[in-house]
Amino acid sequence: MKLLLVLAATLAVAAAGTVDPALNLAIQQGSTEAILALPAIVDQVQSNPSLLSLSGDAKVSALVASLQGLTSAAQAPYVQVASSLGLETQTYWGSNIIHVKGLTSQTLASLAATPGEFTLRKPVTVRMTPSIVETNATQNAQWGVAKIRAPEAWARTQGEGTVVCIIDTGVNLGHVALADAYGGAWSDPYYNTAGPTDQQGHGSHCAGTVLGRANGVGVAPAAQWVACRGLNHQGSGTEPNLISCAQWVLTANPRPNIVSNSWGGGSNNPWYNQVVSAWRSAGIIPVFAIGNSGPGCRTVISPGDQPNLISVGATTDTDAMATFSSRGPNAAGALKPEVSAPGNNIVSCGTGANNYVTMSGTSMATPHTAGAIALLMSANPSWGFDEIFTALTTTPVHPTLSNADRNCGLPEGGDFPNHALEATTVLQGVFMATKLYAATSKKLSLYFDDENAQEFVGHGFIGKGQDLIFKEIHAQFVTSVRKYFDFSAE
């Protein structure tokens, strides 16, 4: 009895949770749901020596099991209290949160009084990054696919052996460009449909750009897609369902190599960081749209404005930054976006069996990048995030910046990397790499600003009848690009 009294006294003086004022107001205005967010566990799991010694499927299985076990133990006391208050709960192991429903001001206060370290806040709501529907078009040579020089890479790889997950409004399985590329894994936390559908069309357009197999729309037409409906038919997404999709990515069969996310909202919000970290531990590359709130500086949106992922801005067919594309830096002053790719007047799949729609937005630039990563991973199966990131962020194609973009904290308009186009612009030449060949059937014109440049590896693709020319290569490029797949010019 004495022990129980001591325990009760300890709990009584233990710190209780905090309640976001915005949640209090929402409950007063009639909302009945909240997120109970507990301290992150993923870092603890990632640093476990037993996990670090594993690789492949064994590592991912251990990662998932550890996350599930630790979050279950951490969440159990709060689930018990919520149940005693007559509240409905749904737990999530991907980010250590509990979705609580049925709240009133009184039960919120009672739940908040539970001893422990946690925060009660409103659930995050996001939207697909708004896309402008321009027209209906069916040209064969899509400019974005050609601009990033994907057809030149197809002689070596078209994305074979890679799987890309689309978290979006769904995917149109009945489209001629998408049907044969389906990998067989689907999740729908909104409507529980048995197989992939897409009434809205945004997700299908994105999927087509990644890997569409008809009408020349896909960057990596031999890759496969799987999908989770993270956004509803109206293009809106809720935190619980998007976390559910993120967890599903880790358990899907086949498990994706890349996740393409053309959605977001708000800024400087780390709510998705834990699941992104889990993806990274599983060897999955996270790609996010940076938003369509440009051309002002510091207009990047979450999750794309967060670290530990690849964010994507949009360019036009003249390699200029699209005016609608959000600019960095993020709230911490970090460079954003990391990559810029074609996103203006992009033709891809619609909601019919064989129709095509032209859209504009960073939503369209993101799948170009995901497709490019599929090509890179297919050609270089041993590559992980670091190698992919280096390849994408060291491409030496630097168009002139506009006056507006020079105002995003840059001393000069030609400085790279920068908060608009960053170091990559249109991803040109990221698919292959070559050492500095002394003798070859193709001329290599190489210009470096480092006296020891001959010791490093060049970066680019040699096409027939082309010179490989590097100009304005900065020291960061020269000193970081060392490990690339070698190939001979034909």
Please give the domain boundaries of the chain with CATH numbers for all domains. 13-123 (no CATH), 127-407 (3.40.50.200), 432-490 (no CATH)
Per-residue confidence (pLDDT) for residue 10, from 0 to 100: 37
Q: Are 379 and 432 in contact (CB under 8 A)?
A: yes
Nearest residue to 260 (alpha-carbon basis) of 214, 212, 312, 305:
312
Given a cut of 50, whether residue 445 has pLDDT beyond it is no
Stated as kind and residue range, the H or E segment containing 240 is helix 239-251
Q: Residue 68: which residues within 8 A CB-CB, separation 6 or more? A: 93
326 among known catalytic residues:
no
Given a cut of 60, whether residue 267 has pLDDT beyond it is yes
Report the pLDDT averaged over residues 219-233: 98
Q: Are 64 and 58 in contact (CB under 8 A)?
A: no
Q: How far is CA 439 from CA 387, 469, 487, in A?
A: 27, 16, 13
Task: Report how far residue 401's alpha carbon sits from residue 416's, in angstroms, rounded to the nearest whole number.
Answer: 10
Question: Which amino acid is present at 434?
Answer: T
Buried b (16+ CB within 10 A) or exposed e, 134-159: eeeeeeeebebbebbbbebbbeebbb
pLDDT in tens, 49-67: 999 899 999 999 999 999 9
Given a cut of 60, whether residue 446 has pLDDT beyond it is no
Give me the residues paired with residue 16 across strands: 115
Apex 67 CA angle, 40 and 36, nearest 5: 45
Q: How far is CA 476 from CA 26, 310, 320, 449, 461, in A?
A: 48, 18, 23, 11, 20
**Rounded percentage of the chain residues whose pLDDT exceeds 90:** 70
Classify residue 161 by burial, with Cβ atoms within 10 Å: 0-12, 13-18, 19+: middle
Query: In the chain, what is the greatest distance between 2 CA atoms, to the nearest angstrom?
Result: 88
Classify residue 55 by burial, with Cβ atoms within 10 Å: 0-12, 13-18, 19+: exposed
Report the pLDDT averaged over residues 38-42: 97
Task: Report how far residue 230's alpha carbon sits from residue 238's, in angstroms, rounded to the nearest whole number.
Answer: 8
Task: Report how far residue 90's alpha carbon sits from residue 82's, in angstroms, rounded to the nearest whole number.
Answer: 11
Per-residue confidence (pLDDT) for residue 335, from 0 to 100: 87
Per-residue confidence (pLDDT) for residue 300, from 0 to 100: 96
Q: Are 349 and 208 in contact (CB under 8 A)?
A: yes
Is pLDDT larger for residue 477 or for residue 137?
Answer: 137
Per-residue confidence (pLDDT) for residue 142, from 0 to 100: 84
Return phi, psi of residue 71, to 5°: -70, -35
Q: Are 289 and 147 in contact (CB under 8 A)?
A: no
Return phi, psi of residue 25, to 5°: -65, -45
Per-residue confidence (pLDDT) for residue 406, from 0 to 100: 54
Stated as kind and residue range, the H or E segment containing 346 is strand 346-349
**E strand segments, 230-269:** 236-238, 258-261, 263-264
Bin 56: left if φ > 0, else alpha if -120 < ψ < 50, else beta. Answer: left
Task: Report how far residue 79's alpha carbon sits from residue 90's, in angstroms, rounded to the nearest whole number.
Answer: 9
> Which of the residues 262, 281, 363, 378 is marked catalytic?
363
Name the pLDDT band for 129 (thresholds 50, 70, 90). Answer: confident
> Which of the residues 95, 99, 187, 202 is marked catalytic?
202
**E strand segments, 93-220:** 97-101, 119-121, 125-128, 132-135, 163-168, 182-187
> Which of the residues 66, 99, 131, 168 is marked catalytic?
168
Task: Report how far residue 54's alpha carbon sits from residue 38's, in angstroms, rounded to the nearest whole number.
Answer: 27
pLDDT in tens, 361-404: 999 999 999 999 999 999 999 999 999 999 998 764 655 556 55
Name the pLDDT band for 319 (thresholds 50, 70, 90). Answer: confident
202 among known catalytic residues:
yes
Task: Report how far residue 164's alpha carbon sits from residue 258's, in angstroms, rounded to the nearest whole number.
Answer: 5
Min mean pLDDT across 127-141, 191-205, 220-234, 434-448 is at 434-448
Cis peptide before 49 (omega within 30 of 0): no
Name the pLDDT band for 320 (thresholds 50, 70, 90). Answer: confident
Given a cut of 70, whether residue 336 has pLDDT beyond it is yes
pLDDT in tens, 183-219: 999 999 999 999 999 999 999 999 999 999 999 999 9
450 among known catalytic residues:
no
Question: Which amino acid is present at 248?
Answer: W
Classify residue 483 by burial, with Cβ atoms within 10 Å: 0-12, 13-18, 19+: middle
Nearest residue to 199 (alpha-carbon basis) of 149, 128, 146, 137:
128
Name the pLDDT band for 458 (thresholds 50, 70, 90). Answer: very low
Q: Rounded mean pLDDT of the chain?
A: 82
Task: Report how far residue 357's alpha carbon sits from residue 350's, in angstroms, rounded to the nearest whole number.
Answer: 6
